[in-house]
Amino acid sequence: MPQLLLLYERYWELLVMNNRTRKVVIALVGLLATGAVSAAETDQRIAESRMAVKSFATQLKSELVGAMKSGGPTKAIGVCHMKAPEIAKNVSHAKGWAIGRTSLKTRNPDNAPDAWEKKVLLKFEQRKAQGESVKKMEYSAVVDHDGKREFRYMKAIPTGKVCLVCHGSNIAPGVISKLDALYPRDQARGFKEGDIRGAFTIRQPLD
Ligand code: HEC
């Protein structure tokens, strides 16, 4: 009987030890998995993000300019309304990422920033106030999202003169009525040239 008890205890010890060992192994693997993305990989992801932003911006601009030329701003609003989300979706699909535009003052509520984006947008305003140029302003980080890692990237969008037709403080009445009809919760008016209109935003899944 006592021998059996001893055996039982040994067996138990072994179990506990194994359990501890297992925990250590799990912790180590976890540490490796959540480890920092290497500098080279970060550079690569930033470079690819810049290219995706460029592709998105170029397509959008050509749609916008084309519509402005052929039918003026009221037609261009319709194009922006239809095409902006479509182009974003196409570029996102091509990459397997999520790409969009966001702002502290949105026109389309679908573009509202999440908590992380809002922090970055506020930081961009701070950086601008400190004299940094908006043109090259960007930010990236590896962020935990529901237990999964993501590489997130944002690039500031400066307000140019042409943007004021629809985002400025002196918008033509015809444009205003079209905007009112499509975007009853429009906040994206009253911008001045050089302001940060918003930002391109990208999420790349890492896990
Ligand atoms: C012809 C009118 C028009 C012009 C000009 C225009 N926009 Fe917009 N903008 C819109 C509309 C409409 C939307 C909403 C698109 C949507 O539904 O996703 C929008 C949305 C945006 C958004 C997405 C965030 C939000 O507010 O929903 C950004 C960023 C933006 N515009 C930046 C610019 C910049 C920068 C320029 C100048 C280069 C510009 N826009 C010129 C009409 C315009």
The one-character DSSP state at 193 is T
Which of 3-12, 16-25, 54-63, 188-197 has the highest mean predicted lDDT (pLDDT)?
Answer: 188-197
The minimum-distance atom of ligand 1 relative to the CA of 75 is 1
Give the tokens for residue 203: 């999420």
Pick the residue whose CA is nearest to atom 39 on ligand 1: 163
The per-residue pLDDT for 196 is: 98
User: pTM score, two decimals?
Assistant: 0.84
Pairwise pLDDT comparison (145 vs 169), residue with the higher score: 169
Could you identify the residue written with the tokens 């990236």?
Answer: 140
pLDDT at 14 over 80: no
Q: What is the mean pLDDT of residues 123-144?
A: 97
Contact by Cβ (8 Å): 166, 175: yes
| Tens digit of each residue's pLDDT (9 = 90 or more) over 178-197 | 999 999 999 999 999 999 99
Q: What is the pLDDT of residue 25?
A: 47
User: What pLDDT sits at residue 79?
Assistant: 85
Closest-lying ligand 1 atom to the alpha carbon of residue 68: 1
The pLDDT assigned to 106 comes to: 98
Query: Does residue 179 or residue 15 have the better pLDDT?
Result: 179
Instruction: Specify the residue with its C-alpha closest to ligand 1, atom 32.
Output: 197
**Mind giving me the DSSP string for 115-140?**
HHHHHHHHHHHHHHHTT--STT-EEE
List residues near ligand 1 (CB under 6 A). 73, 76-77, 80-81, 84-85, 101, 103, 106-108, 111, 157, 159-160, 162-163, 165-167, 188, 197-198
Q: What is the mean pLDDT of residues 123-148?
A: 96
Question: What pLDDT, in 10s, does the model give residues 122-133?
Answer: 999 999 999 999
Q: How far apart are CA 23 and CA 10, in angstroms?
A: 20
pLDDT of residue 35: 57
Count of C-beta atoms within a 10 Å radius of residue 206: 16
Where are the chain's structural domains? 1-33, 39-205
Fold (CATH) for 39-205: Beta-Lactamase (3.30.450)
Q: Mean of the pLDDT values across residues 101-113?
A: 97
Question: Which residue owns the Cα nearest ligand 1 atom 3?
Answer: 166
Q: What SS3 state is found at 154?
A: strand
The preferred substitution site among 166, 182, 196 for testing ligand 1, maximizing ligand atoms within 8 Å of CB, is 166
Q: For residue 188, which atom of ligand 1 is closest to its CA?
A: 26
C-alpha to C-alpha distances, 129 to 7, 74, 167, 194, nearest whole angstrom: 72, 33, 21, 12
pLDDT band at 28 (very low <50, low <70, confident <90, very high): very low
